[in-house]
Amino acid sequence: MSWFDESRLDDEVALGAADLRLRTLAESGARVRREAGDAAEAIADVVARSHDQARPRAIIAAGPDSRLLRAVLEPWCPVPFVAWPGQALPGWAGSLDLVIVLAPDGGDSGTASAVAEAVRRGCQVVVACPPTSMVAEHAAGRWSTILPTTTRDQLATAVVMLSYLDQVTLGPSAEPETVAQALDDVATSCSPHRNLAVNPAKMLAIALADANPIVWGGSVLAARAARRVAESIRRSSGRTSIAGDAEHLLPVIEAAKPRNVFEDPFSDDGGELRPMLLVLDDGAEDAVVREHRGRLLAAATERGVRVEHLTTDVPSEVARYASLMLSGTYAAEYLRLGLVED
């Protein structure tokens, strides 16, 4: 059985034991800058070549990391777009189409197979991956471009690809420095050197300590961030944490038992973990988002379910996604730090 010791969140010895994980989070912005700098020349080359080519008939994002690209591009892309996470390509893919691939570690055989098939069919292929990896070897071809990456960071790799798509007017603005600065701002506000009274991630970890989190984001990218945050919470605590659309989360909230204010949380039969609604707000205010948020908050109020918010107001969609995801991941790491086995 575990319990949560919030004093560990400001304890230098405990924080020292978690230094590697926290330092990895703090370096998120630096990884984005490094990948963007290393790939700048390759991006410039492929952008220059694109001026002599017709706009692709369609864009196919191949490989298991294609879902993040789908979340960014689907609402914006000016040509048909499909995410294809399997090992093959759609049967119609050919020389008129652009295949884009994220392969942060470059060693996935399924992704390598999809890239090789794209080359064989004569597609234009742009792959962000380590330049000496298996995926890079399979991408060799006349119409292929490797955007070199080295950090194995999925977000940083995605920013490299999105920067290219932005420059050829096939994607929204994805300025790497804007994303990196948003990540740096989160790292500063959630730093282990800031005590829990002024540290939003530590305060959120305390709220998560006695709850089973239900994580919701209204926009497509906020929903993607919600799934990543829920995954981080599960990994760090071993507890139930779910993310999903409003219609999937409402039954969970509505099934919560009314809070008993007289319950002793320290008794043998008390202290059952209750659901807690964590809302990831990236500023999306369309009618559907407002309606879904209102239903969730009303249900939480009716059942006495605690509500916490993560918000961001940084300028670009990708930067807002990065900010929300990193804030939630910091909170998950502080939750891990505070949990003590009895």
Return the H-helix or E-strand segment holding 2: strand 2-4
Opening angle at CA 213, ends 208 and 217, nearest 5? 115
In whole angstroms, how large is the CA radius of gyration of the chain? Answer: 22
Q: CA distances (Å), 330 to each of 6, 27, 136, in order?
A: 15, 12, 33
Q: What is the mean pLDDT of residues 172-187?
A: 95
Q: Which CATH number fits domain 30-173: 3.40.50.10490, 3.40.630.40, 3.40.50.10330, 3.40.50.300?
A: 3.40.50.10490
Q: CA distances (Å), 199 to each of 192, 205, 245, in order?
A: 8, 10, 29
- Mean pLDDT over each residue of the chain, to the nearest integer: 93
Q: What is the mean pLDDT of residues 114-125?
A: 95
Residue 56: phi and psi, rounded to 5, are: -60, 150
Of 26, 326, 334, 299, give the one whose Cα is nearest residue 207: 334
Residue 261 pLDDT level (bands cut at 50, 70, 90):
low
CA distance 83 to 222: 18
CA distance 324 to 178: 14
Region(s) of the chain under CATH 3.40.50.10490: 2-18+192-341, 30-173
CA 66, 71, 72, 75 torsion-angle sign:
positive
What is the three-class DSSP state of 12? helix
Asked if pLDDT for residue 240 goes beyond 80, the answer is yes
| Torsion, Cα of 62, 157, 147, 143 (10° steps) | 10
Residue 87 pLDDT level (bands cut at 50, 70, 90):
confident
Asked if pLDDT for residue 268 goes beyond 60, the answer is no
Instruction: Indicate the class that CATH gives domain 2-18+192-341.
Output: alpha beta
Contact 175, 75 (CB under 8 A): no
| Torsion, Cα of 191, 183, 147, 150 (10° steps) | 0
Residue 242 pLDDT level (bands cut at 50, 70, 90):
very high
3-state helix/strand/coil string of 53-76: CCCCCCEEEECCCHHHHHHHHCCC
Of 55, 61, 84, give the one whose Cα is nearest residue 73: 61
Instruction: Please name the amino acid found at residue 168.
Output: V
Residue 272 pLDDT level (bands cut at 50, 70, 90):
confident
The per-residue pLDDT for 10 is: 96
List the strands of the sheet with 274-281, edge to edge: 242-243, 211-217, 274-281, 306-311
Residue where the block lists tokens 């409402």: 250
pLDDT tens digits, 12-45: 999 999 999 999 999 999 999 999 999 999 999 9
**Helix segments in the chain, DSSP class H:** 12-17, 19-26, 28-50, 66-73, 109-120, 134-138, 154-167, 176-189, 200-208, 220-237, 246-254, 287-303, 317-338
pTM: 0.93
The per-residue pLDDT for 89 is: 92
Contact 150, 130 (CB under 8 A): yes
